[in-house]
Amino acid sequence: MLGLMQSQQLLISTLIDFAERHHGEGEVISRRVEGDIHRTNYKEVAARSRKVANALDGLNLAFSDRVATLAWNGYRHLELYFGVSGSGRVLHTLNPRLHPDQIVWIANHAEDQVLCFDMSFLPIVQAVHSRCTTIKHFIALCDADKLPADSGIPGLQSYEAWIGQQPATYTWPEFDENSASSMCYTSGTTGNPKAALYSHRSTILHAFSGALPDALNMSARDAVLPVVPMFHVNAWGLPYSAAMTGAKLVFPGPAMDGKSIFELIEAEKVSFAAGVPTVWQMMLGHMQAGGLRFSTLKRTVIGGSACPPAMITAFYDVYGVEVLHAWGMTEMSPLGTVCTLKNKHLAMDSADKMKVRLKQGRGIYGVDMKIVDGEGAELPWDGKAYGDLLVKGPWVISEYFKGEGGSPLVDGWFPTGDVATIDSDGFMQITDRSKDVIKSGGEWISSIDVENIAMAHPAVAMAACIGMKHPKWDERPIIAVVKKPGSEVTRDELIAFYDGKTAKWQVPDDVVFVEAIPLGGTGKMQKTKLRELLKDYKLPGA
Ligand code: AMP
């Protein structure tokens, strides 16, 4: 017997319809490439996304055709999120921080038909357009009068002219909720990048679960600042969950420096911000230097790489801001776990609470996890046993676009490539990427643990731990350190700083001071690049 409830497909168009009808006045604020602050609301965004849909129909794009973007976080990008997916096309967010050759490879692999780009990326588009063989239409996200006279890009149009003539009425098509809605290529540290292809259903379910109180706790009373880019895993789904809840959206555009982010938080009364640790590192540096305080920020979700304890402490103790440590992946849309405490943790003293908050958190409804040993046998949830982390759920990848790399699943579970523990309360803690774990004398050393201690030193701006070949121990950890401007610390002082904070054999053998740690397109440390940089390095005594 079937249930007797209305059957309605879970489509992305329903999000913007809802936001328009129930939160039409809900604000959408953007710092633009032009430098000014632009103000609009869900009602206008909805009308303009329908114009986008009409404009795409005008280009005769077929269902599931790919429309690419090279764009910062902003209202026009948001309109494309809804207009492209809502009309049945697939939004392909390209990462502008990739090498132009990679952008060409990805655009051709995705068979993008249209490319919409912010004017900051005009030089990239000028450099790559002739090699992007499937793109037929180039749209610059600007006013008609900002279009350069001779860009060299055939048929280049301005977004405002392109959608300007279109009607704001459009009937969103109804189709199977399992249809593809957007795609994002993984960073491809090994081999060519591979794409995760999200569906309308996976996107909506992810937005529902992501908005829950014990996840990101989104509401119509929030002003949300996604610093995490809309070109990387749909800004953690925030554009969708904001439309679902009517939260005010505040977009930083290209200005991601500490000063600009802080000023935007204050000016727009942001209550909730999301980003990778490096972004907050810059902002906290700016605030410390100027003795600044937040007046409205209540919580921040930090993920993408491990959040150093020093950062969590600074947010809580100095600024009174709650930190939600979160973990996920491109292949998981991306949310997997969020670290929100349970009742039993509230009575703990602050040192014990901190131990919990450092973990990447517990699975949100929809994501199941397990850890396994080298033979694939499930390990206990005791907070001690560590093994390969596998996940499954309705917004976890089943296979990559075009079947690239074969089936990624093992008995229906997706191997994340992370190594983790899970405690008896279900809190997962990443100890490493499996390829970054340091194997020393038959034991594993977590590079994250070694980095976290260095990051707590007041003179350290950033630290990356890698394993170096050792004749006796197989590998030994060393730590590459960027000093804070104007601060000093010696190798011996930093090694001594580990005293009493970790087991002796986990203390790095050496410290290498560097100007910068190589960061990838999504702000993650690129340890492969760091290893290349340090290829001539010799361990002391090795
Ligand atoms: P990406 O698909 O590029 O977003 O990268 C996903 C990977 O980033 C994960 O598999 C983890 O290795 C890492 N990652 C994401 N969030 C965290 C976190 N909170 N702590 C540690 N590593 C993280």
CB of 337 closer than 6 A to ligand 1?
no
Of 463, 472, 471, 474, the C-alpha closest to 527 is 463
C-alpha of residue 392 to centroid of ligand 1, in Å: 16
Query: What distance in Å separates the CA atoms of residue 358 and residue 362, rounded to the nearest whole number?
Result: 12
Residue 217 to residue 486: CA distance in whole angstroms? 39
Q: Which atom of ligand 1 is nearest the CA belonging to 360?
A: 19
Q: Classify domain 436-533 at the CATH topology level.
A: GMP Synthetase; Chain A, domain 3 (3.30.300)
Q: Tell me, in angstroms, the distance from the centre of ligand 1 to residue 359's CA.
A: 13
Task: Give the C-alpha separation, 293 to 288, whole Å.
Answer: 9
Q: Tell which atom from ligand 1 comes closest to the C-alpha of 430.
A: 21
Q: In what order do the strands lie in the sheet with 137-140?
A: 157-158, 137-140, 112-117, 66-70, 90-93, 180-185, 195-199
Q: How far apart are the C-alpha atoms of 510 and 284, rounded to whole Å?
A: 28
The pLDDT of residue 206 is 98
Count how many residues are written for the chain. 542
Ligand 1 atom 9: residue of nearest CA: 329
CA 332 to ligand 1: nearest atom: 2
How many A from CA of 240 to the centre of ligand 1? 21
For the CA of 326, the nearest atom of ligand 1: 19
Structure tokens at 521: 């397109």
The CB of 431 under 6 Å from ligand 1? The reply is no
* pTM, to two decimals: 0.90
Instruction: Compute the distance from residue 304 Cα to the ligand 1 centre, in Å.
Output: 4
Probe ligand 1: pick from 93, 95, 276, 305, max atoms within 8 Å of CB?
Answer: 305
Distance separating alpha carbons of residues 282 and 305, to the nearest angstrom: 15
Distance 137 CA to ligand 1 centre (A): 34
Predicted pLDDT of residue 471: 84
d(CA 458, CA 484): 8
Supply the DSSP symbol for 401.
G
Q: How far is Cα 524 from Cα 279, in angstroms, rounded to an integer?
A: 11
Choose which residue among 395, 418, 451, 528 to substitute to test ligand 1 binding: the one with the highest number of ligand atoms within 8 A of its C-beta. 418
286: how many CB neighbours lie within 10 A of its CB? 17
Question: Which ligand 1 atom is at minimum distance from the Cα of 330?
Answer: 2
> What per-residue confidence (pLDDT) applies to 190?
52
The CA distance from 326 to 339, in Å, is 6
Q: Whose CA is nearest to atom 7 of ligand 1?
A: 329
Sign of the dihedral through C-alpha 246, 295, 346, 306: positive
Write the DSSP assignment of 169-214 as a string of letters: ---PPP--TTSEEEEEE---SSSS--EEEEEHHHHHHHHHHHHSTT
State how far the Cα of 103 lies from the Cα of 231, in Å rounded to an integer: 13
Token pair for 421 = 């523990």
Read off the amino acid at residue 192. N
Residues forming the active site: 186, 331, 439, 444
* CA-proximal residue: ligand 1, atom 6 (nearest): 329
CA of 339 to the centre of ligand 1 (A): 14
Residue with CA at minimum distance from ligand 1 atom 4 = 329
Residue identifier of the C-alpha nearest atom 21 of ligand 1: 306
Atom in ligand 1 nearest the alpha carbon of residue 331:
2
Amino acid identity for residue 311 in this structure: M
* Interval between CA 62 and ligand 1 midpoint (Å): 34
- pLDDT, residue 297, reads 98
Is the C-beta atom of 417 inside 6 A of ligand 1?
A: yes
Residue nearest to atom 8 of ligand 1 (CA): 304
Q: How far is CA 151 from CA 102, 124, 139, 140, in A?
A: 22, 12, 12, 11
Is 389:420 a contact under the CB 8 Å cutoff? Answer: yes
**For residue 503, what pLDDT is reported?**
83
pLDDT, tens digit only, all 542 positions of the chain = 999 999 999 999 999 999 999 999 999 999 999 899 999 999 999 999 999 999 999 999 999 999 999 999 999 999 999 999 999 999 999 999 888 999 999 999 999 999 999 999 999 999 999 999 999 999 999 999 999 989 999 999 999 999 999 999 999 999 999 999 999 998 655 567 899 999 999 999 999 999 999 999 999 999 999 999 999 999 999 999 999 999 999 999 999 999 999 999 999 999 999 999 888 988 999 999 999 999 999 999 999 888 989 999 999 999 999 999 999 999 999 999 999 999 999 999 999 999 999 999 999 999 999 999 989 999 999 999 999 999 999 999 999 999 998 999 999 999 999 999 999 999 999 998 888 888 888 778 889 889 999 999 999 999 999 999 888 888 899 999 999 999 999 999 999 999 988 888 889 999 999 999 998 877 788 888 898 888 889 888 76
**Whether the CB of 303 sits within 6 Å of ligand 1:** yes
CA 111 → CA 67, 168, 258, 292, distances in Å?
9, 28, 37, 47
**How do the domains of the chain map onto residue ranges?**
436-533
Alpha-helical (H) ranges within 319-407 are: 343-346, 350-357
**Rg value, the chain, Cα:** 23
Ligand 1 atom at shortest distance from the alpha carbon of 448: 21
Judge if the beta carbon of residue 187 lies within 6 A of ligand 1. Answer: yes
Q: Ligand 1: which of 184, 190, 327, 527 to mutate, most ligand atoms within 8 Å of CB? A: 327
- Provide the strand spans (E) within 136-202: 137-140, 157-158, 180-185, 195-199
Ligand 1 centroid to Cα of residue 288, in Å, is: 27
Burial 11-32 (b: 16+ CB within 10 A, else e): bbbbbbbbbbeebeebebbbbb
